[in-house]
């Protein structure tokens, strides 16, 4: 299945069962590039199960998922490389500074020190943390900690965040 030029996510006939329980039943949707998209619904509606299938953590029982034109079932690593994922619970290290958190993530991505330093400064500026970049995250308010979360994920310039 080929994606349309501007389609970031394409889901067709997605279904997931856990024994006798159907968590997700035959859903289809697409998300165009540049779109902000979210799942809303009551507990048990299948939101988390769908996200886990989109990110390759769960295998669907039926249906097809494409991320950035890559089939998640056929090439899960390739699809994951297209995504930047920010978990619900913060994953910044509070004993490090904001900049150290971003630089460390860049080193995990295999980025060169100079490139990651420059990109870290750009991202911290973008997330309005430049004036606190050398402060330990443990001293940040909850909102400031939350603004730290996307910076390391954006280092690799993912196609989908």
**What pLDDT digit, counting tens, does each position of 109-140 carry?**
888 989 999 999 999 999 999 999 999 999 99
Same domain, 64 and 102: no
Same domain, 57 and 105: no
For residue 5, pLDDT beyond 60: no
Q: How many structural domains comprise the chain? A: 2
Same domain, 75 and 102: no
Same domain, 13 and 50: yes
In this structure, what is the dihedral angle of CA atoms 50, 142, 84, 16, given to the nearest 10 degrees? -10
- pLDDT at 159 (0 to 100): 82
* Band of pLDDT at residue 3, cut at 50, 70 and 90: very low
Average pLDDT, the chain: 90
Report yes or no on 75 lying in a domain: yes
Range of the domain at 29: 7-81
Q: Are 70 and 79 in contact (CB under 8 A)?
A: yes
Same domain, 15 and 57: yes
Q: Are 28 and 14 in contact (CB under 8 A)?
A: yes
Cα–Cα distance between 80 and 68 in angstroms, integer?
10
The first and second tokens of residue 159, run together, are 């196609």
Report yes or no on 160 lying in a domain: no
* Band of pLDDT at residue 152, cut at 50, 70 and 90: confident
Report yes or no on 43 lying in a domain: yes
Q: Which of 8, 16, 2 is nearest to 63 (CA)?
A: 16
Q: What is the pairing mode between strands 21-32 and 62-67?
A: unpaired
Q: Which of 19, 52, 81 is the last residue of a domain?
A: 81
Report yes or no on 104 lying in a domain: yes
pTM equals 0.73
Which of 144 and 84 is assigned the larger pLDDT?
144
For residue 63, pLDDT beyond 60: yes
- pLDDT at 110 (0 to 100): 84
**Domain of residue 64, CATH code:** 3.40.50.300
Report yes or no on 88 lying in a domain: no
Same domain, 57 and 23: yes
Q: Which of 52, 54, 46 is nearest to 30 (CA)?
A: 54
Same domain, 25 and 52: yes
For residue 2, pLDDT beyond 70: no
Same domain, 77 and 11: yes
Helix%, strand%, coil% for the chain, nearest 5: 35, 20, 40
């Amino acid at each position: 299945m080929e994606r349309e030029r501007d389609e970031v996510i394409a889901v067709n006939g997605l279904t997931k069962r856990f024994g006798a329980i159907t968590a997700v039943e035959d859903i289809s949707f697409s998300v165009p590039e540049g779109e902000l998209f979210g799942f809303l619904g009551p507990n048990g509606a299948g939101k988390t199960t769908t996200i886990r299938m989109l990110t390759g953590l769960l295998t669907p029982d039926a249906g097809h998922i494409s991320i950035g034109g890559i089939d998640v079932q056929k090439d899960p690593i390739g699809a994951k490389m297209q995504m930047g994922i920010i978990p619900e619970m913060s994953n910044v290290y509070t004993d490090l500074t904001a900049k150290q958190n971003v630089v460390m993530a860049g080193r995990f991505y295999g980025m060169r020190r100079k490139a990651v330093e420059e990109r870290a400064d750009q991202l911290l500026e973008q997330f309005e943390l430049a004036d606190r970049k050398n402060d330990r995250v443990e001293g940040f308010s909850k909102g400031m900690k939350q603004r730290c979360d996307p910076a390391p994920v954006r280092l690799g310039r993912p196609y989908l965040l």
